[in-house]
Amino acid sequence: GENVEQHPSTLSVQEGDSAVIKCTYSDSASNYFPWYKQELGKGPQLIIDIRSNVGEKKDQRIAVTLNKTAKHFSLHITETQPEDSAVYFCAATSGFQKLVFGTGTRLLVSP
């Protein structure tokens, strides 16, 4: 079955810096890769996703890149703000199936 690894487990940046979180997956059949942001005491919030027919997708300060050959995908946050502080999860799935999640990255943005 699918296995998703996520790095780093914690990431501290200064406000205004960029943050990059990386994930790898094992199942070449996976074709959908969402990223979720989870704030304390809340459910995960879908922030961006990418499908396997696309190499990069941007939404304002957030971008995701996908390298299907290497089975890598990454989340890039530019101009970080304190409100970006949260736990971020990557996930992978092959269509309308269960999401397999990475172990999460705790991002701390210091003012």
Partner 1 sequence: GAGVSQSPSNKVTEKGKDVELRCDPISGHTALYWYRQSLGQGLEFLIYFQGNSAPDKSGLPSDRFSAERTGGSVSTLTIQRTQQEDSAVYLCASSPSRAEQFFGPGTRLTVL
Name the site residues for partner 1 (rule: CB under 8 A): 32, 34, 36, 42-46, 49, 51, 89, 91, 93, 95-104
- Token representation of residue 44: 């995960």
Nearer to partner 1, 11 or 78 (CB): 11
Nearer to partner 1, 5 or 15 (CB): 5
Nearer to partner 1, 80 or 93 (CB): 93
Residues 6+ apart with CB under 8 A from 101: 4, 89, 90, 91
For strand 45-51 and strand 56-59, is the pairing parallel, antiparallel, or unpaired? unpaired
Nearer to partner 1, 97 or 110 (CB): 97
Of 90, 88, 95, the C-alpha closest to 51 is: 95
Rounded to the nearest whole angstrom, what is the least distance from the CB of residue 15 to partner 1 in the complex? Answer: 26
Rounded to the nearest whole angstrom, what is the least distance from the CB of residue 17 to partner 1 in the complex? Answer: 25
Rounded to the nearest whole angstrom, what is the least distance from the CB of residue 32 to partner 1 in the complex? Answer: 4
Distance of CA 53 to the CA centre of its chain: 17
Q: Which amino acid is at 67?
A: N
